[in-house]
Each structure stands twice: as C-alpha cells, then as structure tokens.
Amino acid sequence: MNVPLLDLHQQTAALRDEILRAVTEVVDSTTYILGPKVAQLEQEVAQYCGAGAGIGVSSGTDALLMTLMALEIGPGDKVLTTPYSFFATVGAILRVGALPVFADVEDDTFNIDPNKMAEMLAADQQGERRIKAIIPVHLFGQCANMGSIMALAQQYGLPVIEDAAQAIGAEYPVLNNGSVHWQKAGSMGLVGCYSFFPSKNLGCLGDGGMVVTSDQTFAQTLRCYRNHGAQPKYYHSKIGGNFRLDPLQAAVLSVKLPHLEQWHKQRQANSQVYHELFAQAQLIDNPIRLPKAVYAASPEAAGHNHHIYNQFVIRVPRRDALREYLHQQNVGCEVYYPVCLHKQECMQQYGSNELSLPIAEQAAHDSLALPIFPELRREQQEYVVECIAKFYRS
C-alpha cells in the first residue's frame, strides 16, 4: 500500500471546476495586482480569525518580515522566539538586522515555554533592554500558551507577533473574569501571520500569506510597507517592499476557505483513529509518544479547534531508522525539524551554536510526522501503524 505524507489530488479534484472559474474571473478582469479578489479574501480571513483587518502578502515569511519592518525593529534590537520552528521565523528577524533570543520549548507541545521566556526577559531587564518583540510559533496546529505569553508581553511592554503559519483556525481558551472564551490563533497578539503554502491546512497553488490585526492604524502601516512604502502611489514615506498577495492565489483561497472547518474536523478524526490504533497495538508511551492536545480538557473544549493537526508528530526512539523503514514500505513521513534554529550552520556567526536548549534539541532528535491529511483513509492509517509495530517488534 502507498500512503503519501500529503495528497492534494483529491482536494484539488473536488474543487477543480470552482477553482478554474475563480481563476478565469481574474484572468478576464485583467486586474492582476491586488484588486477585489485580494480585498475579498482579506475580509474573509480577518472575519474567520476574529481580527479587524487582513493584509494579503506574498508569503508567510514576508508576513513576518513586513511586520518587523513596520515595527521598525532593526540593528541593535533583539526578538524573543523559539528555537524549534521552520527557518522563516528566525530568518525574518535576521533579515531586518536584529538578533534572535531563544527560549526553550515545552516537552509536550513543542511550543515556546513561557517559564523560559520569563527568564530571558528578566535577564534582558537587567541589561540594556534590547528585546523589542516576541514571536511565539503555534507549531503543528496547536496554539502556544498565549495566556502566559500575553501576560509577559504586557509586563514588559512588548508587541507579540503570532507566527500562526501552521495554525489558521486553531483556538486557545482565554480566561476572562472567571469565564473561558476561545480565540483563534493570530487574533491575540498585535498581529497574526499566516502562510498559505500548499501543504498548509489552507493552501493556495503557490506562495501566499496574510497578516491580521485589530489595530486599524497598524493595518494601514502594514499596507504601506506591503507596497514599497508608498502611500499614495509614487510617494514613499517608508522603505517597504513588494509583499503583495497575487489575486490569482487570493481567488483560489476564497474557494477553499469555506471548506477549512470540515478539513480541520477530518484531520482531528484522523488523529483520533491514530490514538485508537496505537493503543490497540500497545505502542503508546512504549516506545511511542503521540501528540498531546493540551487544551482538550479546557471548559467547553468540545466543538473548538484545540488542535488542527497541520502535522501529526510522534516521538520515537531510533527515529532515522524508522523513517527509512517507513519509506521502504511506501509510507510518507518527514522530520520537522532535524536541526534546531540555534544550531543551524548560518547561526555560527551569532554564537548561538553554543547554546544548550535540551528540550528543543531532543525534539529534533526523535520527532517524526506521519500522514494526517483530511482524505486519509482508515485502512491507510492501519497500514501505517502496522508498519511501525513491525519495525519495533522485529
């Protein structure tokens, strides 16, 4: 049996005619830069995420970069973030001339640990106070501990840039006056940054991204930076960039967005099947640790997206050998991420290679993502678990 890590054929086939009609509308309109399709998607995504405004951009990477530029973060500044994420998180910080400060992650979620963040912020307070912003990442489709993170941000007067590239639609239980209400990833900080890379839960046919914010003044600043810092046209008050979202991609995303909640439910159902199958195989915790939905026990969690499983990441011994074996059995799997950000070769010049962040480093050593896409069939999941069981019992 063949089980790919991701199969977009079924999703694309089901929406093909509608996508082609939407793309044809853009072609016939001859409006190929921004325009009504981008404005429509911006409104739809902002409403879906519970934010006041959306700014369509060229990628999730540029969403982060543009936000840092708009906050005027640059040389001499530092940004507190996670060491365990896709490189774009730290790359954007470095590209504006700032330096990343890394806090280790939580063992059960892979997300940045607020206790470690508090230590880094306290140490910065004793020095020159160079940390100017915080970028938490909602990794693999589950929100970071935003209650604690926002409390720290308020204490130190820092903007929070939510890297929600993998988490559009994921929800976090916010405690307010003794009651819990659920907020979507990207709506809690100053801004939320999303990626529409094709492999994401909501993906376009290439690169695309979005920034959302409820600060209307900052939204206008972001729109200025998106278009070379010009406002109005040909009058440049700032040095921005070409960060515009393509209307062709916006049209595709508007077709897909109404289906996103159902795709989340299918991924969540697939996660439940994995838990059942691994339990039946008596593999849970010995030797396999399954992903933990830490907010599932929160009040009124039922019906909320406490985890949307952009990836289904397990922790395993002999990870690399298992990965090779699964590939031999035609089971798609991937390592997210084999090298922590502070250990990357390009970080040597900044001295971060000498840091010890043991939880993130262990995650890089033993984590493995299994197929979790919405159209995944139960018999395919049974085959995946069967192959893993054979590997550890042979």
* CA neighbor of 340 nearest in space, from 123, 140, 87, 169: 87
Q: How much is the average pLDDT of 151-165?
A: 98
Output phi, psi for 301, to 5 deg.
-70, -30
What are the pLDDT digits (tens) for 218-266?
999 999 999 999 988 899 999 999 999 999 999 999 999 999 999 999 9
pLDDT at 176: 81
Residue 358: pLDDT band with limits 50, 70, 90: very high
Overall average pLDDT of the 144-169 stretch: 98
Q: What is the pLDDT of residue 139?
A: 98
* pLDDT given at position 225: 96
With a cut of 80, say whether residue 178 has pLDDT above it: no
As a three-state string, the secondary structure of 379-390 is: HHHHHHHHHHHH
Q: Could you tell me which of 271, 308, 292 has the C-alpha nearest to residue 384?
A: 271
What pLDDT, on a 0 to 100 scale, did the predictor assign at position 298? 80
Instruction: Please give the domain boundaries of the chain with CATH numbers for all domains.
Output: 9-259 (3.40.640.10), 260-393 (3.90.1150.10)
Q: How much is the pTM?
A: 0.96
pLDDT one-digit tens code per residue, 45-74? 999 999 999 999 999 999 999 999 999 999
Per the DSSP assignment, residues forming a β-bridge with 211 are: 55, 193
| Residue 94: how many other CB atoms lie within 10 Å | 15
> d(Cα 9, Cα 333) in Å, to the nearest integer?
18
pLDDT digits (tens, 9 = 90+) for 286-309: 999 999 999 998 878 888 999 999
- pLDDT, tens digit, 9 for 90 and up, residues 66-105: 999 999 999 999 999 999 999 999 999 999 999 999 999 9
| Distance in angstroms (rounded) separating the CA atoms of residues 232 and 235 | 6
Mean pLDDT (the chain) is 96
